[in-house]
Structure 1
């Protein structure tokens, strides 16, 4: 299985490289970013040992297409997509907070709720909810990086402002943009027979001080989707929801005694299981984008990316 799990490019004007859990970001001159979406899979803030075929292409194409479909609402960092795995955009100073928005009691929120907690990021949650029930209104539950380590940490709006992580004027813009993007994403998902359950957005500031959407948007790594058909029936029967997201990987890891905790070992993923993950990612792409997924040539992914990016930069 040909996958791309690491890169080591040297582009003209390159100043530095940042290697995240999934993406590798090349800083060019003082104003350009070349972001490569690898096939790495991260869960519970741990990168799995094997890459997932076509995952990087899927993430990049969903994110860049959704940026095009939301740029009338919220400005974003994107300039071009010279390769299926690559996005080129403006250098921004990222805000040190992720804007998580939830329409339903799922995932992390459900796990906290089931522990008896009725407050999440300063927001009081209604009593009597079941996992995957819809909230009366979407709630914003921000996250920030813990001071020690890479784990995300829940944080309230009050603490963000009190700790000076984001000034109030900017934070109000982040909240406004988050709600607008989630509403648009919800409408697009509904038109495809899906429910956008929850997602996260990241924002940055350009050199001229404009707040823009950065990183990814509405991908299976940053979002959770349910199938709309049969949703209420499954809730009424107390059944698990049919969903399209990375949650199925998390559940498999939990079932195999791994949640990223100290002393735990990542379970072995067979090639057959890796293939099923790839197929699920392709399924999500085709459902949310409403079009067939066209597999890029993966005979030599590294050379393909290098050639396409250099051709773009030379233009």
Structure 2
């Protein structure tokens, strides 16, 4: 099954490359080009198999939402010269990710189920069950690890450690809540619930910018709105669009990224089903038909697009 797992482009004007969990980043003075590969990560581990069209899905969803939210907070993007490529400002990233949750799902639910009633310094009420709506959205930041696992951290710890100044952190919280409200409103119009998501921010010329991707299935969790309450009342799993089903498959197969655990092998059939899930989310969240970009000469086309942009 064709997929873009790695790129190794050479640009005369580039002054470095960074390979993230799922993106290859090429640096150009005060700009950068980000290639969305088809790699997939879970539990902060890059899995062995790549997922066809995943990179294109993420890049195009992110592009759409970054354009839509530019009136809320400026973002790093300047152009998307290829369906898998975005170029823009090289911002100095804050060392925290702003996670915001409207429902008790995923990591928050696993912590709650384990008996914890405090998440990142935020108190959670008793009597909740998986996927219940929270009384109000909560911000549960994590550290941004270059390698290994991101770790939960509280607002108080962030300020005490001087990771972000209080004045800037207040702005990050305000941006996070405004972006989440906009994302939830848009999702509701599409018959979806934006359950939780994360945002990353950086600075450029002294100003705060939204960076990375937003409201994609890698950074967000969506439920179908229709039947949500009925499923909750019957204690049934929610019908969702996110990569949580990949995490659950890994958990069922004894893998959570911990030392000594062996990553299970993904069959071609499972990889294809993951690809279709990503495409399904694209079409549901954007309301647009997904146009599969051919894999023939794809890497060469990406390289050419970046080269042409930077001259």
Q: TM-score by structure 2 length?
A: 0.98
Q: Distance in 1 between matches of 2:88 and 2:307?
A: 15
Q: CA deviation at 1:308?
A: 1.6
Contact preservation (8 Å) 1:39, 1:56: yes
Q: Does 1:189 align with 2:180?
A: no
Q: Does 1:226 align with 2:223?
A: yes
Structure 2 residue matching 1:176: 3-state secondary structure: helix
Q: Distance in 2 between matches of 1:146 and 1:80?
A: 27
Q: Which residue of 2 is the match for residue 41 of structure 1?
A: 40
1:22 to 1:146, Cα distance in 2 relative to 1, 3 A: closer
In the alignment, which of 295, 304, 309 is matched to residue 307 of structure 1? 304
In the alignment, which of 252, 255, 266 is matched to residue 252 of structure 2? 255
Q: CA deviation at 1:78?
A: 0.3
CA RMSD of aligned residues (A): 1.0
Q: CA deviation at 1:146?
A: 5.7
Contact preservation (8 Å) 1:3, 1:301: no
Written as runs of structure 1 = structure 2, the 5 A alignment for 1:22-33 is 22-28=22-28, 30-33=29-32
Q: Which residue of 1 is the match for residue 264 of structure 2?
A: 267
Q: Which residue of 1 is the match for residue 52 of structure 2?
A: 53
Q: Does 1:99 align with 2:125?
A: no
Q: Does 1:114 align with 2:113?
A: yes
Q: Which residue of 1 is the match for residue 175 of structure 2?
A: 177
Q: Note the alpha carbon deviations across 1:40-63, whole angstroms, 9 max, x for none.
A: 010011111111000000000000
Q: CA deviation at 1:10?
A: 1.3
Q: Which residue of 1 is the match for residue 21 of structure 2?
A: 21
Q: Note the alpha carbon deviations across 1:173-207, whole angstroms, 9 max, x for none.
A: 1000000100000011000000000000000000x
Structure 1 residue matching 2:15: 3-state secondary structure: strand
Q: Number of aligned pairs?
A: 311
Contact preservation (8 Å) 1:2, 1:299: no
Q: Distance in 2 between matches of 1:64 and 1:209?
A: 24
Written as runs of structure 1 = structure 2, the 5 A alignment for 1:131-170 is 131-145=130-144, 149-170=147-168
Q: Distance in 1 between matches of 2:300 and 2:15?
A: 21
- Structure 2 unmatched runs, 5+: none
Q: Which residue of 2 is the match for residue 64 of structure 1?
A: 63
Q: Which residue of 2 is the match for residue 200 of structure 1?
A: 198
- Structure 1 unmatched runs, 5+: none
Q: Note the alpha carbon deviations across 1:224-268, whole angstroms, 9 max, x for none.
A: 000000000000000000000000000000111111111111101
Structure 1 residue matching 2:16: 3-state secondary structure: strand
In the alignment, which of 265, 290, 298 is matched to residue 293 of structure 1? 290
Q: Distance in 2 between matches of 1:159 and 1:221?
A: 26
Q: Distance in 1 between matches of 2:176 and 2:144?
A: 19
Q: TM-score by structure 1 length?
A: 0.97
Q: Note the alpha carbon deviations across 1:146-185, whole angstroms, 9 max, x for none.
A: 69x5201000000000000000011011000000100000
Q: Distance in 1 between matches of 2:305 and 2:21?
A: 23
Q: Distance in 2 between matches of 1:64 and 1:177?
A: 18
Structure 2 residue matching 1:108: 3-state secondary structure: helix
Q: CA deviation at 1:304?
A: 1.2
Q: Distance in 2 between matches of 1:281 and 1:11?
A: 31
